[in-house]
Structure 1
Amino acid sequence: MSGDRRRFLLAFFAYLIITFVVATAWHLVVFKDLYMTAGMRREPLLHLGILSMLIQAFLMAFLYPRFRGAGTPALEGLKFGVLMGLFMGSYGVLAEAGKFDIGPVGPFVATEGAFFLLQFAIVGTVIGLVYGRGSAAIT
């Protein structure tokens, strides 16, 4: 297996594992009461969440080497992760709160916004470390 394919697969599975652990702990344990108050399903449709995570894992592992800079792997990964977290969070937090009858909106936006930034900062940093140093961006 080539080094590029190996790094892609490591980044892909790192995203899946980290996201599954962080998202499960955040949404179903630590802040479960807040999300239940906001209207979360009593029995989440896990297959939709897993499909979403598979798509995100593919895109994060695919896009990172195309956008990384020449800095340290951890810092480049962190910057990429925060950028992707802001992108994903703009929909997953703001648009969702605007479209659905989520209550209370303020705590939902603050908590879910923090989740997106934390989760993507962690996975971005790990993906940066997986890919390591290399030329700036693959074109």
Structure 2
Amino acid sequence: MIVHILSVIAFMLVTFAAQGVSHFVINADHFASIGFLRAEPIMAMGFAVMIIQGAILSFSLQIWKGDAVQIKEGLLISLIFGAFLVSYIALTEPAKYAVPSITDWLRIELVVGFLQFGIFGLVLGWLHRRFGSEKAPKGTP
């Protein structure tokens, strides 16, 4: 179970770093120009989503590969789930809402999403490779 807890924490850290830096530092002007965003985000809801998504990714990797995880498989599953999630945000949101620039929206969401899920995938694979086997250490009853 420790590998899943560590994976969720890692997902939260990577996501908060990638999306936080994008939203509040690098692309702050872009996001400030979007009229439908809250002035004060409801952080608890964002944390809940990160916990759910991190857990789904971690358990999916374990179900798929068991204890025989390679880092590349963590990267692959994270990029697949990331493509599923980011495609909605990148393509459907500007189709529904009047974003100031569809081109900017696509560029920002696709680049940040790829970085977020790519970095997390490497971490996920490493965590499962390092901590995934919950068997008792040799020499213990």
Q: Place the TM-score, normalised by the shorter chain, in its bin.
A: 0.7 to 0.9
TM-score with structure 2 setting the length: 0.81
Residues 1:38 and 2:29 are matched in the alignment: no
Q: Deviations over 1:42-73 (max 9, x none)?
A: 32222221221121111111111223499972
Q: Deviations over 1:69-105 (max 9, x none)?
A: 9997221111112111110011111111111111211
After the TM superposition, which of the residue ranges 124-133 and 66-75 deviates more from structure 2?
A: 66-75
**What are structure 1's unaligned runs of at least 5 residues?**
135-139
Task: Write the distance in 2 (CA, Å) between the matches of 1:30 and 1:68.
Answer: 37
| CA 1:38–1:68: 2 relative to 1, 3 Å | farther
Instruction: Give secondary structure in 2 for the equivalent of 1:23.
Output: helix
Q: CA deviation at 1:117?
A: 0.9
Task: Write the distance in 1 (CA, Å) between the matches of 2:128 and 2:92.
Answer: 32
Q: Deviations over 1:6-63 (max 9, x none)?
A: 1111111111122112221111111111111233333222222122112111111111
Instruction: Tell me, yes or no, if the aligned pair for 1:68 and 1:77 is still in contact at 8 Å.
Output: no
Q: Hey, what does 1:9 align to over in structure 2? A: 5
After the TM superposition, which of the residue ranges 36-45 and 88-97 deviates more from structure 2?
A: 36-45
| Root-mean-square deviation over aligned CA pairs | 2.3
Q: Hey, what does 1:137 align to over in structure 2? A: none
Alignment length, in residue pairs?
131
Q: For the pair shown, which has the larger CA radius of gyration, 1 or 2?
A: 2
Q: Hey, what does 1:125 align to over in structure 2? A: 122
Opposite residue 17 of structure 2, the aligned amino acid is: V
Instruction: Give secondary structure in 2 for the equivalent of 1:44.
Output: coil
**What are structure 2's unaligned runs of at least 5 residues?**
133-141
Q: Hey, what does 1:101 align to over in structure 2? A: 98
TM-score with structure 1 setting the length: 0.82
